[in-house]
């Protein structure tokens, strides 16, 4: 992926700020594909794999880029990690802060800002044990540059963790079945209905007209997807090794996600991975 023109980059960043300002208080309700039990089991499994490889004799430092309302940050603090939680949206950070238990607040440094700036700090070079991106890369103007900067911020042997990203359409096999088409249709109808209800309920709560959110610029890379093969190849060219890689189908309905996994009737459209920097 090449760098985008400055005007496109500005549009993406502004759209993300605008969208998440509106969506912040509704975010958890609008995204069951992230907070549902199926995705959460995968996320907890990934974290277990990372934790098993981290040093046990010192404080662990994590950076959660695009932390949102705290999907990964809250899991880090449950383990006693110190976390720098970065998000472009102050509103999303406010939601995260409201979830942090009083006794754990000293573990979190929540910082408004963009990924590029957060990962360009020379003072924290080779400081972090884990840097994570959960459903974030497709929001970034230039995710390849951001990932290369993340590697520089990791200690030798540190972990780069990426979750829930859309795979490039060029990766998909051309196979379709009636059952697969039906499952996809049901899932699409489910999320459209759910979002409409969430918009309506929050509008009633705030006594305002329902708002339909436009994701066309904020989710800039979601339509075409991201080539996981290209991303992993780039990371390996920097000396990182791939500890874990998985493709799967994220579903808004946990039941449909489970059925999709069991039946294997559709090509996988999402990916996640863990990469490790060289030990020395």
pLDDT in tens, 203-221: 887 767 767 778 889 999 9
Q: Work out the average pLDDT over 112-122.
A: 95
| Per-residue model confidence as pLDDT tens digits over 1-51 | 457 889 999 999 999 999 999 999 999 988 888 998 889 999 999 999 999
Q: Is residue 128 part of a domain?
A: yes
Structure confidence at residue 1 (pLDDT): 45
Q: Is residue 1 part of a domain?
A: no
Structure confidence at residue 176 (pLDDT): 57
Q: Is residue 61 part of a domain?
A: yes
What's the whole-number average pLDDT of the chain?
Answer: 90
Question: Hey, CA dihedral for 263, 31, 146, 93, is it positive or negative?
Answer: negative
Total domains present in the chain: 1
Question: What residues contact 58, with CB distance under 8 A and at least 6 apart?
Answer: none
- Answer whether residue 171 shows pLDDT above 70: no
Give, in degrees to the nearest 5, the angle at Cα 196 between 192 and 202.
Answer: 145
Structure confidence at residue 131 (pLDDT): 98
Per-residue confidence band for 75, with pLDDT thresholds at 50, 70 and 90: very high
Phi-psi region of 176 (alpha: psi -120 to 50; beta: other; left: phi over 0): beta
Which structural domain range is residue 139 located in?
6-276
CATH number for 84? 3.40.50.150
The reported pTM is 0.90
| Per-residue model confidence as pLDDT tens digits over 45-58 | 999 999 999 999 99
């Amino acid at each position: 992926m090449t760098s985008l023109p400055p005007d496109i980059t500005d549009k993406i960043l502004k759209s993300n700020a605008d969208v998440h300002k509106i969506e912040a208080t509704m975010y958890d309700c609008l995204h069951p594909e992230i907070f549902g039990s199926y995705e959460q089991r995968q996320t907890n499994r990934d974290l277990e794999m990372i934790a098993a490889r981290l040093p046990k004799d010192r404080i662990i430092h994590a950076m959660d880029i695009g932390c949102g309302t705290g999907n990964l940050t809250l899991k880090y603090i449950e383990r006693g990690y110190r976390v720098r939680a970065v998000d472009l949206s102050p509103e999303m950070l406010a939601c995260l802060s409201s979830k942090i238990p009083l006794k754990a607040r000293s573990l979190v440094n929540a910082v408004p800002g963009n990924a590029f700036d957060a990962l360009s700090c020379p003072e924290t070079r080779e400081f972090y044990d884990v840097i994570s991106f959960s459903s974030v890369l497709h929001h970034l103007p230039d995710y390849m540059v951001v990932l290369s900067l993340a590697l520089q911020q990791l200690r030798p042997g540190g972990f780069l963790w990426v979750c829930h990203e859309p795979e490039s359409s060029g990766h998909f096999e051309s196979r379709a079945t009636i059952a697969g088409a039906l499952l996809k249709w049901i899932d699409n109808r489910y999320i459209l209905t759910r979002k409409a209800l969430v918009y309506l309920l929050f509008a009633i709560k705030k006594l305002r007209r329902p708002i339909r959110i436009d994701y066309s610029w904020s989710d800039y890379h979601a339509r075409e997807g991201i080539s996981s093969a290209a991303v992993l190849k780039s990371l390996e060219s920097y000396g990182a090794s791939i500890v874990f890689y998985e493709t799967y189908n994220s579903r808004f309905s946990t039941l449909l996600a489970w059925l999709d996994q069991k039946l294997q009737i559709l090509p996988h459209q999402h990916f996640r991975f863990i990469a490790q920097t060289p030990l020395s």
